[in-house]
Structure 1
Amino acid sequence: MSTANTTPFDIAKQALAHVGRFRTPPTPNVYEVWYRYVEGVDDIIANLSHAVDHVNAVSVEMLDQLHDQYCVPVEVAGERMADELISEMSSLHSVVQKQIQVGADFGDSINQACGALSEANPSPETVSDCSKALLVSNAVMQEHIQELQAQLIASQTKVENLQHELVESQRATMTDPLTGLGNRRHFEVGTRKSIASDNRESRHIVLFVIDIDYFKTINDTFGHESGDKVIMYVASQLARHCPDALISRIGGDEFAIIVDVSDYIQAKELADTVRKFFASTPLKLSESGKDLGHVKLSIGAARLRIDDDEQSWFVRADKLLYQAKDGGRNSVVVEHFR
């Protein structure tokens, strides 16, 4: 990765070296991902480091997905949608202003008619002229009301489409393409929301950091495609066991879960249940039928404290994860709390 003294030229050379090493075509998207990887963008490092350092294989599809997620600024899509929304609101504003003017003109016509008809013994011609004027003004008013209704319906449809597009755009930038879980950005948003929660003092919000034990061995023995399937399997089972939790894949074979529990005992039981399920469930490759053995997990868990920030909470849980690994792996270390 780059250092503070690394020049853009040095980063570019290292990025091109990665292009050559992994035989990925030097398209603008692919090159930008490698450049950002060498530059030290955390999200890209978290998603690429495992493939680079352990699997030694990186696909163009993976790089394209990372480019869409992390190299195209979210602000670009947001600005475009904001511009479209402003344009739509300006158009609608013009129609409304026109309707206001038509309404004022209609009011003037009514006032004039009332003034003429309020005179003593108005002539039949006056009554007839007033009626015709009111009919004409009413027709103009109705025409513009219909125009406004049509514009409102069209604007409502467009705004709903923009809203849907914005939701999909946000979902895409926070979804891990391999597992369908949240990605690191999703995790960071989740931690910020937990910390900003108004009632965090009265809740037990626990962060589980989970790592697959000896995952490199799985890749080395069965290939990175099988390794990807194991990651997908682990992701699906974590989602099944923790349906009400915020679950993210934050690195190659590392996951994070943020969940509310009633007490320490429930946190420990949940972590143990997850670990025991994987440790007792043998896996086979669907194509060849080869035994993969049992997937074993190490889990560290820390409760959100009142003085925690995003970094301190994660660092504490991560240290507990390494205690679990140092204690022999396939184990759980949960921070005690009341």
Structure 2
Amino acid sequence: MDHASTAFDIAERVYATCRRLGIPPTPENYLLWYTHCSGDHPALSRMIRLLEENGDPLGPERCRELYERFFLRSDMERTVARCGARLEQLMREVEEQLQGAGRRNEEACDRIAALGGRIARDGDPGEICRLAGRLLGEAKRVAAELRMLSGQMHAKAAEVATLRSSLEQARREAEQDPLTGLANRKAYERRLRELARESMETGRLLSLVVVDIDHFKSFNDMYGHKVGDAVLRVVAEVLRRHVRQDDLVARYGGEEFVLLLADAGLDAALAVAERIREEVGARHLRDRRTGRDLGRLTISAGVAEYRPGEPLEELFRRADAALYEAKRTGRNRVVAETEVSAPDAAPLP
């Protein structure tokens, strides 16, 4: 049997399974059951067989749990999936409540209109008084219905706000380096795209600084990873103090950091990088537990200015080449892209 025939056969089994279990063939459910039926995920299939043997119902909620467990790779993805599913459910609930309230209000309005017509036609004071009482009752029922609907809408709005907060928290955590608390490479790349687009549209200046801790590997090997992590946090804190609201400082990877400086040309960015280098170099490191003198820490930095319209990789390449030049010529230096004359190469440790 060829690949296409096999895929169609598996797809038919998936749809038959969804009908049998009473679950909708959403993309998530289809992926779950296609993977099981194809035998591509033994751990998933073992779990499904175990649930079936134990008589556990494989309904929509259980399928969602299996999808999150076997297909979502991170807490952020699980949060997004849960919030998305709940938002979809909330939208259905709101639509049903509004439709139901609309029908009931239309029926109440028809009854009120009919009572109003009878009052206008009837001349008997007693009958008019009775009809007025019924009219008042209908008005009260409509008012109660609206109050109940308003309360439901407020509750839904509060839950949506909570879900939005959860999604925003997940986004922040996905773009944060857990060790230093700085932005991570993903956040850097997103912000770089934003600032580069703005630079092309408005002419706003933008510069990139690439910072690397000198001899960090040797330092880490000599004093241990815990001390190395502490050093990374110290440097991160210094960098954080030198950025403004529209700037971004991120841990690019290992002992390398990047700064995106908005409204800063090459000279301004060089001045920022030099102040950072001086502040880091003035730090005298000591092990708090043992009191051991760890010496002084230094950094090297390369600086480049964005040229509107150029590939973003080219901006980083020039700043990284300047960083290499700083390393090659002695470290503990800040070098501008205009000072680079040596061929590009990987930075020294």
TM over 0.5: yes
Matched, 1:115 2:130: no
Distance in 1 between residues matched to 2:152 and 2:325, nearest whole Å: 63
Q: CA deviation at 1:110?
A: 2.8
Of 101, 104, 117, the residue aligned with 2:103 is 101
Report the equivalent of 1:184: 185
8 Å Cα contact 1:109/1:133 also seen in 2: no
Report the equivalent of 2:149: 148
Q: Secondary structure at the match of 1:283?
A: strand
Matched, 1:327 2:323: no
Higher relative contact order, structure no. (Cα contacts within 8 Å, ≥ 6 residues apart): 1
Report the equivalent of 2:319: 317
Distance in 2 between residues matched to 1:183 and 1:133, nearest whole Å: 67
Cα gap change, 1:71 to 1:300, in 2 (>3 Å)? farther
- Equivalent residues in 2 for 1:240-255, closer than 5 Å: 240-244=241-245, 245-255=247-257
Q: CA deviation at 1:123?
A: 2.3
Report the equivalent of 2:91: 89
Higher mean displacement: 140-149 or 102-111: 102-111
Distance in 1 between residues matched to 2:300 and 2:98, nearest whole Å: 62
List, as ranges, runs of 4+ consecutive aligned residues in structure 1 with deviation greater than 6 Å: none
Unaligned runs of 5+ in 1: 1-69
Q: CA deviation at 1:252?
A: 0.9
Q: Secondary structure at the match of 2:291?
A: coil
Q: CA deviation at 1:102?
A: 2.4
Q: What TM-score do you get using the length of structure 1 for normalisation? A: 0.73
Q: What's the RMSD between the two structures over aligned residues?
A: 2.2
- Equivalent residues in 2 for 1:50-89, closer than 5 Å: 71-72=73-74, 74-89=76-91
Higher mean displacement: 209-218 or 128-137: 128-137
8 Å Cα contact 1:213/1:296 also seen in 2: yes
Tell me the percent identity: 30
- Residue identity in the other structure for 2:241: R
Q: CA deviation at 1:113?
A: 2.6
Matched, 1:265 2:267: yes
Q: CA deviation at 1:101?
A: 1.7
Report the equivalent of 1:136: 137
Report the equivalent of 2:48: none
Q: CA deviation at 1:125?
A: 4.6
8 Å Cα contact 1:116/1:122 also seen in 2: no
Higher mean displacement: 82-91 or 230-239: 82-91
Question: What do the CA deviations read for 1:179-221 (whole angstroms, capped 9, x no partner)?
Answer: 1111111111111212222665521111111100100121122
Number of aligned residue pairs: give it: 267
Q: Secondary structure at the match of 1:333?
A: strand
Report the equivalent of 1:279: 281
Q: Secondary structure at the match of 2:262?
A: strand
Q: What TM-score do you get using the length of structure 2 for normalisation? A: 0.71
Cα gap change, 1:200 to 1:207, in 2 (>3 Å)? farther
Question: What do the CA deviations read for 1:278-305 (whole angstroms, capped 9, x no partner)?
Answer: 1222211111122222211111111121
Q: Secondary structure at the match of 2:116?
A: helix
8 Å Cα contact 2:198/2:204 also seen in 1: no
Cα gap change, 1:264 to 1:329, in 2 (>3 Å)? same
- Residue identity in the other structure for 2:260: I
Unaligned runs of 5+ in 2: 1-71, 340-349
- Residue identity in the other structure for 2:239: L
- Residue identity in the other structure for 1:209: V
